[in-house]
Structure 1
Amino acid sequence: PQLFLYSQILIALSKNEAKYATTGTPMEFWAFWKEQKDVENKVRDIINTPLASEKKDRLFRDRFKYVRKYFDALEAEGGREVTEQDRVVHALCRPERLLDLTFHYILFDAGEKKIARYQQYFCVKKIMDRITTIDNMGKRLGGVVWHTQGSGKSLTMVMLAKAIALEPTIDNHKIILVTDRIDLDDQIYRTFHHCGKELEQARTGKHLLELIGGHKERIITTIIDKFDAAVGAKDVKNADPNIFVLVDEGHRGQYGPLHAKMKKVLPNACYIGFTGTPVMKKHKNTVATFGGLIDSYTIDQAVEDKAVVPLLYEGRHVEQKVDSESIDIWFEKITEKLSKEQAADLKKKFATTDQLNKAEQKVMRIAWDISEHFRDNWQSTGFKAQLVAQDKATALMYKKYLDEFGMVISEVLVSGPDDREGEEDIYKENKEGIIRFWKVMMDKYGTEKEYNRQIINAFKYGEIPEIIVVVDKLITGFD
């Protein structure tokens, strides 16, 4: 394979199908290319323009002389229709596009050579066109990029950083990557680091201010809360218009009040929001805040391109009415296939059912349904599951009942009791239980970072846990 180390783009062509990749790309990651402008007529003109006689003389000479009659006969037949092969050869192999892709849009991710998919290429082009435009206030234009989850949003950000660094009209640039979760901050730091980019991760609000004011660091990662701490620490601002703030999952609610604090510290920066979540009506203010929609790549497009697998929905119904009669009916249903001994053992576990509040009874029944469904359909297949709870107290409740039923092995991954957690007010939750759980986790893992790392790695690469229970973590942007 070393023979092909310097090959930049590999293209597999047939008349009606074409895919491209780089050396070492697994078959399932070879990609389709789609132009975003209609070039059909242009390609048709190119393929149906006869070669000049002197070009034929050079092309069909020596041992290839015998082929000339064949091509002359093809030309004499007249024009032909454009094929997929024609489209992709024109899209990827014309000199200016080939050199652009090779120089700007190939990177190494943890040693793996990767090339931009078409949506990444055109997205970066659109962003660069936008940010090199200066408004009448002397600021660069920003906006929002909506690319569905799984379509390579983080690598698009890496390619954008490279494009900004190579743009001759932008001097002494600085790029700040902003997320709202510690795990996402770590993830985007790793992505850039694996792609060979030198960057600094802000540890505190004070450290963030030092990095923003410094001249050495070109790329910085931070969670948005550190801007809150930075503004509270001292009145510092950097009015440089060559600062680019790339905000991951910029539609989320907590960006609202903190966005103003970012702008206080960086009043002239160019803000670009990236989201994998559909931009709904309620998020239109967010889009306007950033400066409008720059580009979109929907889940339907990604499924059509085979970039992601389709999302399938199966509704599950658990009886909403919770009383002693419905509990008895439900108990009979779930024990009908059990022996008398198994049913008696299960009844002991449900002995306290009448003493539970309605919310907990509902969680218990859903936990049973999930346990049965996973055991019967997915256990030992290599597939795993994610259970999203409405708050931390409910997440711990699910874990309790999943463990009691004993059909699946689960873990809970939540943030600490004092951390920001979506739009939920943690003081409304059963805080004592959460604090007890958190103490056990910290005794076991030492730090929140290590707790996150070990649970996520076990979920990704180990046999257990089979189910991971979360609230806001690992839902958007989880690699």
Structure 2
Amino acid sequence: MDYESEEQLEESLIQKLVGLGYTRVNVKDIASLENHFRQKLNRINSENLKGQELSDKEFERVKNEMIGTYSIFETGKLLRGSELQPYGKINITRDNGESVYLTFFDAKNYQNNDFEVTNQVKSESKYKNRYDVTILINGLPLVQIELKRRNVEMSQAFNQIIRYREETMKDNLFKYVQLFVISNGVDTRYFSNQEVGNFNSNFMFVWTDEKNKWINEIDEFSASFLNPQRLHSMIARYTIFDNAHKSMLVMRPYQVYATEAILEQALNHPEKNGFVWHTTGSGKTITSFKAAQLMSQQESIEKVIFMIDRRDLDTQSIKNFNSYLSDANQIDMTDSSFKLVKQLNSNDSKLIVTTIQKMSNAIKNERHNRKLEQFHNKHVVFIEDECHRTQFGEMRIAVNKWFENAQHFGFTGTPIFEENMGQNKRTTENLYDECLHKYLIKDAIRDKNVLPFNVQYMATFKDKGIDYGDEKVEGIDTQEVFESEVRMRKIVEHILLNHRKLSGNGMYNAIFTVSSTEMALKYYALFKEYIDKMDDPINVTTIFTWQANEDSNEGNQNSENSTSRHGLDNVIKDYNQLFGTNFDTNNFDDYFADVTNRMVNHQKDTPKQNIDILIVVNMFLTGFDSKRLSMLYVDKKLQWHGLVQAYSRTNRVEKDTKPFGNIISYRNLKKATDDAVQLFSAGDMSSFLVEPYENVLERFKQAVLALKNYVAKPEDVDSLYDQGDEAVKKFIELARDVFRKQNQLRFYEEFDWNKISDVIDEGTFQRFQGKYLDVKDEFKKCQGNKESILDDIDFELSLLAVDQIDVRYILNLVQSIDLTSKDQQEKDIEVIKKAMENTANTDGLRLKADLIRKFLEEVIPTLGPNDSIGNSLNEFLAKEREKAVDDFSKETKLSESQIDEMFNEYKLSGGIDSEKLTTELNDLGYGFLQNRKVVKKTISFIKETSEKYTAEI
């Protein structure tokens, strides 16, 4: 079969776009792009300009206003204007002193914009790049499309985009690119523009139709996604600004279709409700907020009330909600119904976020409800997130009676059906009339929006010779058996034996869910007993709510845990001692917030600040989202939506080092799992679980065999350079395939290097990784004349982050050097050097490797048995940093105090004031071009030095 070349694919796409209504224009470089935009700006604003086109100086002011030092996030906001004024506008002063507003984008009506297409635009600065196909709207490059040959992976094109963004898209109109599209003709992806450090290949999306069928082929994709009306909506309506992370989030197709279905129902069928069934972890919050935001802009709708249960208003949820909202809509965390009533009667905003408890109190209180009488018959829309938890009780009935003409839209990942309905015998469909859009777990796993699950059922005892793991065993679920200390100890021992390996050596954390607060405290005590004896302990705590008057601990009145609250207070004392905090159950909310923060912000390189295993009863099993959570240990009965919700805490996408959510159940949940998956996958269970270990192992063995057939030993890689780029490229592809498969393999409990040593031993594997990283560095050095190869290579360095040999590992080895014996000292040093040479170490370790070697060679031999290696290391680093600063001061003429000030600024804010630095360099006599080079060099020095000479190495 004859495949299209990139040039043919490019021309075919342009012709398709012309057929969709785009105008083809000839824009060949940045200068002609600016001139073209200037012409458009003059035409669009001819009335404001009073027929007098922009002068050269005025257009320079335009560029300064539009580009300046803005981030991608800021230019995105500038492009869209606001909800009240949806126009991209700037204000400049004309040469005659008059002020004039210039419009450059209409975010409300797509027909008021010009859609054009061009190709092969050159952008040259220090680097030279040429872009494939660029979509211009009103002369601004808002969409960049990069095309590859049919046999090239999407991730390679993704990496090319990152390089373009870093090299030649930062300081010109290409900063306004909102969306990137990459395609090889048969596979197509889209994603939003970001600052370079925030790009994540997991957020490349496949476009679909309303039934979630992939639209991959470039012609079909163009007809659907690049249609001017749809493309305009993706830019103007279906992009969300995450204020907390300063990033733009383009919505996935199912989120778009659900939002549009809600809008259509609200505007054309206000008498009917509706619900959206989008699986847990698929981003329902974004969809529900966007739907609420767009409905609040409709004249026919009086108010839009986003209503959630107070139980869902944890710290994490508040941050997520508020990060998408304007300041006027920020969530009110008080219990004041008075403030809610005031918001409802205000004209400041039609969108209100509140809790069902607060709304219920408002309509019950006579003083408040008189002020709400006006809403009896008005079109008020309620958006209800996680509706299966919030909308089945008496409060919902009371709200319905008050807001007689209200319309309700619910969001759920696990609807209530006849099979799993409660005592009230109501289903989600009973409550909300009809399902407006579905996106099931099978769809989310296929799209890689969530991860599949690896579920293991562990037998903890036998009955009458029958293994408890057999799903047919019944009638043995008694409290006496399950709460046996012997059984509980076996479970704790099993967890502690395997947790390090299954968590990527501390890269991820886990939740352990148990049946009661009493069991949580018993398990905590057992973990504490074992951990106190460990050389390398992990951090375990528990959290739960308690009843005011308990009788479950009646027999424990003489115990320090006589009630669950007393027991939790004792746990929190340990917590305070471990983390240096000051909590107790009187400020439980603060303790909850701190636990949440440590679970979400779990970092491998700060193990003492992490919670490795959190013991819970019900908390954190619904609504809690953390990419760092990868494990769920289960010792309680779970079923239906509760089971899926609990499992789904583990399956948030992070990066390739987290291939699936890991569930280890110490109860017989096989049938309950199968039933729940069957129900919530609409009968299609095929993608819910990961493949069996044996299948993955066999593919790993085949990948290793292919690599060894090409290069028998890691040392043989060096000879490939003599054979040319293609030979090295083949090694990269074969080695990468091995790393990918091993990365998935290592998270299975069955994985053991000793059992596969006949295929490859761990040392050889690590040496191959080291060679792989060397190849990456070599290609970076040769980037100028090896561009064609770089565009075809995806190094996937995130795979190497799983290595146990990292900066902290090396630091531990350094601090454990035996200073009492010279012979042993030399052996210890040799071990450390070999570890750094033979491992695919992280970029952070590579940056500091020379420093470590120098410390080993020059300082360690001078230390005596009573010296502190840690203190000596700190002193060494401080001196080396002083030398580096002194050398840089002499090179640039910047004073050491100026450099230290920049270090402090970078430490506090994460950035450098480049304008101030430019002024200081001007004062030192630097010319314009030289000034720019030194500014860039200084910023790089500050960043690298801040990392390189830290006491943590």
TM-score by length of 1: 0.73
Q: Could you tell me whether the CA contact under 8 Å between 1:414 and 1:471 is conserved in 2?
A: yes
Identity %, equivalent residues: 21
Measure how far apart 1:91 and its partner are. 1.7
- Counterpart amino acid of 1:12? I
User: Measured at CA, do residues 416 and 266 of structure 1 come closer, stay the same or move farther in structure 2, by a change above 3 Å?
Assistant: farther
Question: 1:466 aligns to what?
Answer: 612
Q: Distance in 2 between matches of 1:386 and 1:38?
A: 32
Specify which of 193, 199, 219 is matched with residue 322 of structure 2: 193
Q: Distance in 1 between matches of 2:272 and 2:321?
A: 24
Measure how far apart 1:178 and its partner are. 1.2
Measure how far apart 1:116 and its partner are. 0.8
Specify which of 406, 414, 418 is matched with residue 277 of structure 1: 414
Measure how far apart 1:10 and its partner are. 1.1
Pair 1:453-2:623 in alignment = no
**Secondary structure, aligned partner of 1:318:** coil
Q: Could you tell me whether the CA contact under 8 Å between 2:296 and 2:351 is conserved in 1?
A: no
Q: Distance in 2 between matches of 1:36 and 1:254?
A: 27
Pair 1:101-2:237 in alignment = no
User: Measured at CA, do residues 119 and 279 of structure 1 come closer, stay the same or move farther in structure 2, by a change above 3 Å?
Assistant: farther
User: Measured at CA, do residues 240 and 394 of structure 1 come closer, stay the same or move farther in structure 2, by a change above 3 Å?
Assistant: farther
User: Measured at CA, do residues 320 and 296 of structure 1 come closer, stay the same or move farther in structure 2, by a change above 3 Å?
Assistant: farther
Pair 1:258-2:395 in alignment = yes
Question: 2:526 aligns to what?
Answer: 401
Q: Could you tell me whether the CA contact under 8 Å between 2:212 and 2:439 is conserved in 1?
A: no
- Counterpart amino acid of 1:410? V
Pair 1:434-2:558 in alignment = no
User: Measured at CA, do residues 472 and 255 of structure 1 come closer, stay the same or move farther in structure 2, by a change above 3 Å?
Assistant: farther
Measure how far apart 1:101 and its partner are. 1.3
- Counterpart amino acid of 2:176? Y
**Secondary structure, aligned partner of 1:151:** coil
Q: Distance in 1 between matches of 2:378 and 2:309?
A: 21
Q: Could you tell me whether the CA contact under 8 Å between 1:389 and 1:395 is conserved in 2?
A: yes
Pair 1:31-2:211 in alignment = no
Deviation digits for residues 139-189 of structure 1 (CA, Å, limit 9, x no counterpart): 54222211112211111112112221233433x4232331241544x4443
User: Measured at CA, do residues 227 and 301 of structure 1 come closer, stay the same or move farther in structure 2, by a change above 3 Å?
Assistant: same
- Counterpart amino acid of 1:466? D
Q: Could you tell me whether the CA contact under 8 Å between 1:414 and 1:470 is conserved in 2?
A: yes
Pair 1:292-2:421 in alignment = no
Question: 1:85 aligns to what?
Answer: 218
- Give the greater-gyration-radius structure (CA): 2
Question: 1:310 aligns to what?
Answer: 452
Specify which of 300, 320, 325 is matched with residue 169 of structure 1: 300
Deviation digits for residues 73-131 of structure 1 (CA, Å, limit 9, x no counterpart): xxxxxxxxx97111211221111111111111012113111111000000001111112
Q: Distance in 2 between matches of 1:84 and 1:174?
A: 39
User: Measured at CA, do residues 225 and 173 of structure 1 come closer, stay the same or move farther in structure 2, by a change above 3 Å?
Assistant: closer
Q: Distance in 1 between matches of 2:402 and 2:255?
A: 30
Pair 1:153-2:284 in alignment = yes
Kindly report which structure 2 residues correspond to 1:136-151, keeping only aligned pairs within 5 A, or say none: 140-151=271-282
Deviation digits for residues 339-367 of structure 1 (CA, Å, limit 9, x no counterpart): xxxxxxxxxxxxxxxxx986253444433
Q: Distance in 2 between matches of 1:183 and 1:415?
A: 15
Question: 1:374 aligns to what?
Answer: 499
Specify which of 238, 249, 252 is matched with residue 117 of structure 1: 252
Measure how far apart 1:439 and its partner are. 4.4
Q: Could you tell me whether the CA contact under 8 Å between 2:312 and 2:623 is conserved in 1?
A: no
**Secondary structure, aligned partner of 1:368:** helix
Q: Distance in 1 between matches of 2:248 and 2:432?
A: 32
Q: Could you tell me whether the CA contact under 8 Å between 1:132 and 1:140 is conserved in 2?
A: no
**Secondary structure, aligned partner of 1:405:** helix
Question: 2:337 aligns to what?
Answer: 206
Q: Which runs of 5+ in 1 are unaligned?
A: 41-81, 323-355, 419-425
- Counterpart amino acid of 2:620? L
Pair 1:359-2:483 in alignment = yes
Measure how far apart 1:29 and its partner are. 0.8
Measure how far apart 1:32 and its partner are. 0.5
Q: Could you tell me whether the CA contact under 8 Å between 1:155 and 1:191 is conserved in 2?
A: no
Q: Could you tell me whether the CA contact under 8 Å between 1:392 and 1:471 is conserved in 2?
A: yes
Measure how far apart 1:434 and its partner are. 1.7
Measure how far apart 1:321 and its partner are. 5.6
User: Measured at CA, do residues 156 and 288 of structure 1 come closer, stay the same or move farther in structure 2, by a change above 3 Å?
Assistant: same
**Secondary structure, aligned partner of 2:296:** helix
Measure how far apart 1:294 and its partner are. 1.8
**Secondary structure, aligned partner of 1:252:** helix
Q: Could you tell me whether the CA contact under 8 Å between 1:154 and 1:188 is conserved in 2?
A: no
**Secondary structure, aligned partner of 1:201:** coil
Q: Could you tell me whether the CA contact under 8 Å between 2:385 and 2:412 is conserved in 1?
A: yes
Specify which of 583, 592, 606 is matched with residue 444 of structure 1: 583
User: Measured at CA, do residues 268 and 103 of structure 1 come closer, stay the same or move farther in structure 2, by a change above 3 Å?
Assistant: same
Q: Could you tell me whether the CA contact under 8 Å between 2:207 and 2:253 is conserved in 1?
A: yes
Q: Distance in 2 between matches of 1:468 and 1:218?
A: 40
Pair 1:225-2:357 in alignment = yes
Measure how far apart 1:265 and its partner are. 4.2
Q: Could you tell me whether the CA contact under 8 Å between 1:245 and 1:270 is conserved in 2?
A: yes
**Secondary structure, aligned partner of 1:372:** helix
User: Measured at CA, do residues 117 and 429 of structure 1 come closer, stay the same or move farther in structure 2, by a change above 3 Å?
Assistant: farther
- Counterpart amino acid of 1:179? D
User: Measured at CA, do residues 455 and 141 of structure 1 come closer, stay the same or move farther in structure 2, by a change above 3 Å?
Assistant: same
Measure how far apart 1:260 and its partner are. 1.5
Question: 1:330 aligns to what?
Answer: none
User: Measured at CA, do residues 295 and 83 of structure 1 come closer, stay the same or move farther in structure 2, by a change above 3 Å?
Assistant: closer
User: Measured at CA, do residues 120 and 38 of structure 1 come closer, stay the same or move farther in structure 2, by a change above 3 Å?
Assistant: closer
Q: Distance in 2 between matches of 1:415 and 1:223?
A: 20
Q: Distance in 2 between matches of 1:247 and 1:269?
A: 13
Q: Which moved more, 1:269-278 or 1:105-114?
A: 269-278
Measure how far apart 1:398 and its partner are. 2.1
Q: Which moved more, 1:25-34 or 1:368-377?
A: 368-377
**Secondary structure, aligned partner of 1:15:** coil
- Counterpart amino acid of 2:617? V
Q: Could you tell me whether the CA contact under 8 Å between 1:104 and 1:162 is conserved in 2?
A: no
Q: Distance in 2 between matches of 1:195 and 1:453?
A: 20
How many corresponding residue pairs? 393
Q: Could you tell me whether the CA contact under 8 Å between 1:31 and 1:117 is conserved in 2?
A: yes
Q: Distance in 1 between matches of 2:458 and 2:509?
A: 18
User: Measured at CA, do residues 258 and 429 of structure 1 come closer, stay the same or move farther in structure 2, by a change above 3 Å?
Assistant: farther
Q: Distance in 2 between matches of 1:311 and 1:247?
A: 28
Q: Which moved more, 1:394-403 or 1:119-128?
A: 394-403
